[in-house]
Structure 1
Amino acid sequence: MRKISLLAFGLFFCAVILLLIAFKPKNQQSWIRINLLGYQPKSIKVGVWASKGNELPKSFELIDKVSGKTVYTSNNIKTFGAYGPFATSARLNFSEFKKPGRYYLKAEGVTSPEIIINEDVYKNTADFALRYMRQQRCGYNPFLKDSCHTHDGFVVYGKEGGIKDSTHFDAVGGWHDASDYLQYSTTTANATYHLLMAYRDFPQAFSDTKLATGLDGKNGMADVLDEAKWGLDWLMKMHPQQHIMFNQLADDRDHITMRIPKEDNQYGKGFERPLYFIDGKPQQRGKFINDTKGTSSTAAKFASAFALASELYQNDKSYTKQLTEKSKSAYQYAIKKKGVTQTASVKSPYIYAEDNWVDDMELALAKTGKITGYGEKSLDSAYYYAMQEAVTPWLIADTAKHYQWYPFINLGHYELAKQSNGDRKRELIDYYKQGITHVWDRAKKNAFYRGVPFIWCSNNLTVAFAMQCMWYKQLSGDGTFSELEQANFDWLFGCNPWGTSMVYGLPSWGDTPIDPHSAFTHLGKYPIDGGLVDGPVYTSIYKGLIGIQLTKPDDYAEFQSDLAVYHDDYGDYSTNEPTMDGTASLVYLLAAYDSRTAKEFSSYQKEQGAIIRGDVKEKQLAIVFTGDEYADGSQKIISALDKEKVKASFFFTGNFYRNPSFSSFIKTAKAKGHYLGAHSDQHLLYADWKKRDSLLVTKQQFEDDISANYKAMEKFGIAKKAAPYFLPPYEWYNQTISNWTEDLGLKLINFTPGTRSNADYTYPELGKSYRSSDEIYQSIIDLEKQKGLNGFILLLHVGTDPRRKDKFYDKLPELLQYLKQNGYKTVTINQLLGN
């Protein structure tokens, strides 16, 4: 009976497969890639058109999944050429659409997977990724409800620490590295720091559903803190005494077989595994020697992790005291011999070839000032190290050794910038910008905005880069790279050439890894929920690796290329192996995205430190008028604004505010709710026209001039606090002027380039620089049709030289009508920029 049932099922299954094959689109040439996890309503939302043909869409539709009706149509398309396996590609931007629901994109007859738009689309995803961390636990494993590696471990290279080799130290605990069961201090410390930081910055993203053991239950502590503590407790064992620190537990002999974690016995001392002492010297086991030069890189990571933890476990005074002591001694170990510590390998050439350490020292010093007693001097020292490596090198390079520059993001810049002010803070922020710009220079050439190199663990780099973009925006307020950040986040969840999420089981309804290089899935058929896999690598790297052999036909064969490959196949350890530290970083990123607020969605663009554009996702703009000598358009401007019931912003010099002839207009503008701001007192030229970096004023002259401008404004009841935006005279400035403005507690703004609106002051006698009102008007309309005016700061003049007879303010009613008819909201500058 059973045999008959199985036979019937088999025949039915074959019939279903044949039907699926019959209805499968033949010779599909084009695809639309999206973030399979979904989008928040106010986020940047872009699908990528990718085609093996030459076809490019001229427009696209967003179709409601339930009703089948088109709810949004757009031609907001940015086209690109070939990339990877594709001949043509394009970015389909539907950020304007904000209504929650379930949809799909359609262009040229091609439809995307289901698109979810919802405020809570990332809710609980950080906790989901924590499942993988919990599953990686060594010692007692709550997933298996079993214990492993309970005899660890015995010391090697202990001579420098006065320890006889083979001496036993308790090193049970921590997390396994990936599918391997060896354990590294450097990755564990970094992962622990990310988990601690995730809770510190986004506590609301985490729940309490697990006990400290990882089993079901509540213990009054967020699960992410339970998990971080698992890492911390192991790190304490790896730094058991003031002058003893271990860099790794076990080595690549671990890779001999794939197995569910049990007690290993391939290291020559029963069930114990070797503990590698950090002596600051190169270490060799077998024929391979690493390039260790010091103790700093690992020990500094210990110090910063313990320091941050001491801030977060305040309810446990005894534990906090222990963390503080460990942080202090770890820092002393870091300066014992300055330099990098690399991992050791016995049977293969693959090690974590970390090559930098000043970033680790920067972070440690940024976090341990109170613990070490160095205070402000600690921050000064951190800044010294920050300058030694302003940009994490992989951001510049297109290739690197395995974990050569680790962590993949300089955490120290972020922690130090939050504690800094003035030039130091600006410089640290600029370090992030420099690194992002290097990647952007590569990314802007393809539709996926992919500028992260396809080196081993490229997904870990992608998470780190998205974090760097996010932190840059948070610290600077500059949203120039917001779309680049979102593109990297989207890449992780399906907006990539392969159309698959790179996180196991996330989302449950989408294409995600099912056959990763993991013993849990391969041998035990267990899910590894939340695990971030390594990600695509350069095809040249893939072809040069040892021991890779695919075990089945490649599901993504049509999307492989000479550029990069990704395989959802157990046999490919280079692209599809989950990593513990990468997943920990992802926990932070998911918590950040789950916690985004309306303010964080709003962003603006900067140039030379001045804000030049508001949020491009919002269909609104600010019209700003400047004035110094002339105000002949004042009444017509106020009348036009009144008629359309819109508000504008006026930036006047002290000369203008003091002119008795303009007093009535100023009072009227203020009474009607328009924004009134500063434009310098004497309309000074700050910088040379040809050499922008050459200043024509001193800082004292600048400050005195601004002070006089605001003093003139006070007579009209306009306080500096109510008018924080400053528009520079002649709309000409440089980064130094921006810095000086910031030092005064003000925000420098300038007009958005792209139209000729700022030329409305010109008159025929100026020759080639003269622009007629029709020409100016058309430049605005043309740009609106081509690229849109979202977030625009459109600059005009409240009056002009009498020699200009063709007054552009006479066309203001027509312009306001056009903007209104095309769905734009005209707002004041403070409304545009969210203040």
Structure 2
Amino acid sequence: MPKLIPCFIGCILGLGINVQPNDHSSGLQPAKAAPDEVIRYNQLGYLTHSPKVAVWASYVNPVPDSFFLCRADDGQCVWKGACSMDFGVYGPFSHTARLDFTDYHIPGTYVLKAGNATTAAFSIDDKVYRGTADFCLQYLRAQQCGFNPVLRDSCHTHDGYTLYGPMPDYTHVDVVGGWHDASDYLRYVTTSATTTYYLLAAYRDFPEVFVDSCQANGLPGKNGIADVLDEARWGLNWLLKMHPQASWMFHQVADDRDHAGFRLPNQDTVSYGFGLERPVYFCTGTPQGLGRYQNHSTGVASIAGKMAACFALGNILFGKQDPAFAQSLRDHAYTVYQLGIEKPGYCQTAPNLAPYYYTEQDWQDDMELGAALLWQMSKQQKFLRDALHDADADPLKPWMGGDTALHYQWYPFFNAAHAELIVHLKQDHLRKNLLGYYRKGIEAVWQKAKHNAYYRGIPFIWCSNNLTAAFAMQCWLYRHLSGDNTYQFLEQACIDWLLGCNPWGSSFIIGLPGSGICPHDPHAAFSHLAHIPIHGGLVDGPVYGSIFHGLIGVHLSKPDSFAAFQSDLAVYHDDWADYSTNEPTLDGTATALYLFAAMEAEGARNNK
């Protein structure tokens, strides 16, 4: 008989799944025959004037002396380059080398050849990222709670009843809306606010790349507003509900009792004991957890700072088109930031049935972000002083350069606040100090990355792809704010990794590119139960083999198409039953969206 296993995955626990008993302790199927040599590359393609590098890899054969870039239509060789040194073992491969054709700039469709390996066709063109940011919005619309445009139906319309608040427990409060966090139906301010900020920032920084094809609720139809701004407002509206008055702030809707198996959100009948109402957790700044387990919260500033940043940036962007909404955001920005001042510390998500939760342990980066945007909004110097103080107190993310970290321990995965200050500061010494923080983190990763052909320096913990996208975002911002191109190849290697230049040769964006190798069987009820594609989602990504092999109840539902490329270093499976590597996440997708918007804008500017 199948048994129910609660899944601990990227974006908390994930979703409980029915698993079959498995006689294979590793959860892997017998390996298929593999090609002797492969070339891994960015399947989406390469900008004409950006780094262009692929990776050749072999199980046994030595590195060839040279490689060839050939036109895809007639096979004509247009570029011959020398392969790099042998970087040696990586994952399942014994020999690896970099194929660098950065100096070739002619747009077109090409293939790479090295030794006995040949790639499929790819493009060199400044338009290769066109539409990719909007493509990611498809996943966010599928995550909408309240009204879901993909289902054209509503869900979780009874949320919810309060816990831990100053009001009596089980008091009804309207918190309908927002986004489901991942493939479960919990909603968290910490990830929703991060998502909202990235959407707002992407529109502010790259408005030219976004289109208007949907209404405010996500249904098809133009409304005169860029879709990314509509989706950001969906997030803002929910965040306002989670801070309904000056002294009230909630941080979570539902808990791990949600993890009762796959079902579509509009068919969710899981009961918490009060009909279809679900619990809404008040921010107390102290440990929470209704069952055997509790988190280790120390304050509320991590939540307050994220909210304040969203409200302040929303005020700036909506000021002209909707003054009343903008004024509400402005008022809420001030009051929620004050809650963070009054209760410094971090607010972790609340467990119940299992000891799994977001273990966020930093908060001054969030208050720095809130203060930086409040400064931009109000021009009040006190917020600048606050922001600079918090920047010096929490300069860089400790995971950078490390081999591991707890789940979401240092979150968000890079500190966007430094960039918000650098852009507006006029004092060179302050700008250099903040840029130095970015550079120190990047250099720590580079010291690990430079020893392998993929330039991989990100630890293979749960949500490794989220870290990869965030780190690439930090590199991009550092490069453009400092003018220092030292780490551009490392930045591009992270982007290429997400789009296919990795040992598995797969993109990690669901459905992108449509003609390439990408996730088609994610851990999600939409696709698994209803066969509704959830294009645009960034999946969790590879995890250490030791993590995967130690998971309880994990299995694969079909033969592993990537069996030949698995290793003790890291595994990835395009299989709905692998909740550790193939679940898309809300905040990871928003990070990728910002990154793709930046790359599309860069390509357009290069083409002028």
TM-score range, shorter chain: over 0.9
Q: How does 1:157-176 map to 2 (within 5 A)?
A: 157-158=164-165, 162-176=166-180
Whether contact under 8 Å (1:42, 1:601) holds in the other structure is no
Post-superposition shift, 1:471? Answer: 0.8
Post-superposition shift, 1:283? Answer: 0.6
Q: Distance in 2 between matches of 1:396 and 1:485?
A: 15
Q: What is aligned with 1:197?
A: 201
Q: How does 1:283-294 map to 2 (within 5 A)?
A: 283-294=288-299
Q: What is aligned with 1:382?
A: 387
Q: What is aligned with 1:514?
A: 520
Q: Distance in 2 between matches of 1:255 and 1:286?
A: 15
Instruction: List per-residue Cα deviations over 1:624-666 (Å, max 9, x = no partner).
Output: xxxxxxxxxxxxxxxxxxxxxxxxxxxxxxxxxxxxxxxxxxx
Bigger radius of gyration, 1 or 2? Answer: 1
Post-superposition shift, 1:599? Answer: 7.0
Q: What is aligned with 1:73?
A: 80
Post-superposition shift, 1:515? Answer: 1.0
Matching residue within 455, 458, 466 for 1:452: 458
> In structure 1, the residue corresponding to 2:78 is in which secondary structure?
strand
Post-superposition shift, 1:117? Answer: 1.2
> In structure 1, the residue corresponding to 2:432 is in which secondary structure?
helix
RMSD: 1.5
Matching residue within 320, 324, 328 for 1:318: 324
Matching residue within 223, 239, 250 for 1:219: 223
Whether contact under 8 Å (2:527, 2:534) holds in the other structure is yes
Q: What is aligned with 2:582?
A: 576
Matching residue within 263, 272, 289 for 1:259: 263
1:89 lines up with 2:93 in the alignment = no
Letter in 1 for 2:316: E
Q: How does 1:264-279 map to 2 (within 5 A)?
A: 264-279=269-284
Q: Distance in 1 between matches of 2:73 and 2:379?
A: 62
User: Structure 1's 338 and 113: CA in aligned 2 closer, same or farther, altered over 3 A?
Assistant: same
Post-superposition shift, 1:601? Answer: 10
Q: Distance in 1 between matches of 2:34 and 2:290?
A: 53
> In structure 2, the residue corresponding to 1:319 is in which secondary structure?
helix
Q: Which moved more, 1:353-362 or 1:540-549?
A: 540-549
Whether contact under 8 Å (2:63, 2:83) holds in the other structure is no
> In structure 2, the residue corresponding to 1:181 is in which secondary structure?
coil
User: Structure 1's 505 and 370: CA in aligned 2 closer, same or farther, altered over 3 A?
Assistant: closer
Q: Distance in 2 between matches of 1:394 and 1:349?
A: 22
Q: Distance in 2 between matches of 1:98 and 1:168?
A: 61
Whether contact under 8 Å (2:34, 2:564) holds in the other structure is no
1:100 lines up with 2:107 in the alignment = yes
Taking structure 2 as the reference length, the TM-score comes to 0.92
> In structure 2, the residue corresponding to 1:400 is in which secondary structure?
coil
Aligned residues: 574
Matching residue within 498, 503, 509 for 2:504: 498
Percent identity for Structure 1 against Structure 2: 53
1:110 lines up with 2:114 in the alignment = no
> In structure 1, the residue corresponding to 2:86 is in which secondary structure?
strand
Q: Distance in 1 between matches of 2:433 and 2:606?
A: 22
Whether contact under 8 Å (1:466, 1:485) holds in the other structure is yes
Q: Distance in 2 between matches of 1:117 and 1:50?
A: 22
Matching residue within 135, 139, 163 for 2:146: 139
Post-superposition shift, 1:598? Answer: 7.8
Q: Distance in 1 between matches of 2:144 and 2:34?
A: 46
Post-superposition shift, 1:377? Answer: 2.5
Q: Distance in 1 between matches of 2:101 and 2:85?
A: 12
Matching residue within 351, 359, 368 for 1:353: 359
Q: Which moved more, 1:75-84 or 1:580-589?
A: 75-84
Q: What is aligned with 1:250?
A: 254
Post-superposition shift, 1:600? Answer: 6.9
Q: Distance in 2 between matches of 1:354 and 1:547?
A: 26
Matching residue within 458, 463, 467 for 2:469: 463
Whether contact under 8 Å (1:265, 1:272) holds in the other structure is no
Whether contact under 8 Å (1:76, 1:94) holds in the other structure is no
Whether contact under 8 Å (2:144, 2:179) holds in the other structure is yes
Q: Which moved more, 1:242-251 or 1:545-554?
A: 545-554
Matching residue within 113, 116, 131 for 1:124: 131
Whether contact under 8 Å (1:306, 1:323) holds in the other structure is yes
Whether contact under 8 Å (2:185, 2:258) holds in the other structure is yes
Instruction: List per-residue Cα deviations over 1:681-726 (Å, max 9, x = no partner).
Output: xxxxxxxxxxxxxxxxxxxxxxxxxxxxxxxxxxxxxxxxxxxxxx
Matching residue within 225, 228, 232 for 2:232: 228
Q: Distance in 1 between matches of 2:75 and 2:553?
A: 49
Q: Distance in 2 between matches of 1:507 and 1:166?
A: 47
Letter in 1 for 2:149: P
Q: Which has the higher helix share?
A: 1
Q: Distance in 2 between matches of 1:78 and 1:413?
A: 37
Gaps of 5+ in 2: 1-31
Q: Distance in 1 between matches of 2:71 and 2:376?
A: 56
Q: Distance in 2 between matches of 1:105 and 1:597?
A: 22
Q: What is aligned with 2:181?
A: 177
Q: Distance in 1 between matches of 2:81 and 2:270?
A: 63
Post-superposition shift, 1:206? Answer: 0.2
Matching residue within 282, 287, 295 for 2:300: 295
> In structure 1, the residue corresponding to 2:347 is in which secondary structure?
coil
Q: Distance in 2 between matches of 1:66 and 1:26?
A: 29
Q: Which moved more, 1:249-258 or 1:480-489?
A: 249-258
Post-superposition shift, 1:544? Answer: 2.5
Q: What is aligned with 2:22?
A: none
Letter in 1 for 2:508: M
User: Structure 1's 307 and 27: CA in aligned 2 closer, same or farther, altered over 3 A?
Assistant: closer
Post-superposition shift, 1:27? Answer: 5.1
Q: What is aligned with 1:474?
A: 480
Q: Distance in 2 between matches of 1:552 and 1:169?
A: 44
1:529 lines up with 2:505 in the alignment = no
User: Structure 1's 333 and 27: CA in aligned 2 closer, same or farther, altered over 3 A?
Assistant: closer
Q: How does 1:430-829 map to 2 (within 5 A)?
A: 430-597=436-603
Instruction: List per-residue Cα deviations over 1:16-56 (Å, max 9, x = no partner).
Output: xxxxxxxxx96521100000111111121111001111410
Q: What is aligned with 1:784?
A: none
Gaps of 5+ in 1: 1-24, 603-835
Q: Distance in 1 between matches of 2:54 and 2:249?
A: 48
Post-superposition shift, 1:143? Answer: 0.6
> In structure 2, the residue corresponding to 1:394 is in which secondary structure?
coil
> In structure 1, the residue corresponding to 2:602 is in which secondary structure?
coil
Q: What is aligned with 2:24?
A: none
Post-superposition shift, 1:584? Answer: 0.8
Instruction: List per-residue Cα deviations over 1:354-383 (Å, max 9, x = no partner).
Output: 010010011111111265x67223212211
Q: Distance in 2 between matches of 1:393 and 1:451?
A: 13
Matching residue within 273, 281, 288 for 2:286: 281
Q: Distance in 2 between matches of 1:583 and 1:208?
A: 19
Whether contact under 8 Å (1:149, 1:264) holds in the other structure is no
Q: Distance in 2 between matches of 1:590 and 1:356?
A: 27
Instruction: List per-residue Cα deviations over 1:428-487 (Å, max 9, x = no partner).
Output: 001000000010000000000000110100000000010111111111100000000000
Q: Distance in 2 between matches of 1:541 and 1:26?
A: 25
Q: How does 1:11-22 map to 2 (within 5 A)?
A: none
> In structure 2, the residue corresponding to 1:163 is in which secondary structure?
coil
Letter in 2 for 1:173: G
Whether contact under 8 Å (1:355, 1:404) holds in the other structure is yes
Matching residue within 316, 328, 352 for 2:334: 328
Q: Distance in 1 between matches of 2:607 and 2:255?
A: 45
Q: Distance in 1 between matches of 2:52 and 2:88?
A: 21
Instruction: List per-residue Cα deviations over 1:140-198 (Å, max 9, x = no partner).
Output: 1111101000000000111xxx2110000001100001101100001000000000000
Q: What is aligned with 1:740?
A: none
Letter in 2 for 1:403: Y
Whether contact under 8 Å (2:37, 2:116) holds in the other structure is no
Whether contact under 8 Å (1:43, 1:601) holds in the other structure is no
Post-superposition shift, 1:79? Answer: 3.0
Post-superposition shift, 1:137? Answer: 0.3
Taking structure 1 as the reference length, the TM-score comes to 0.68
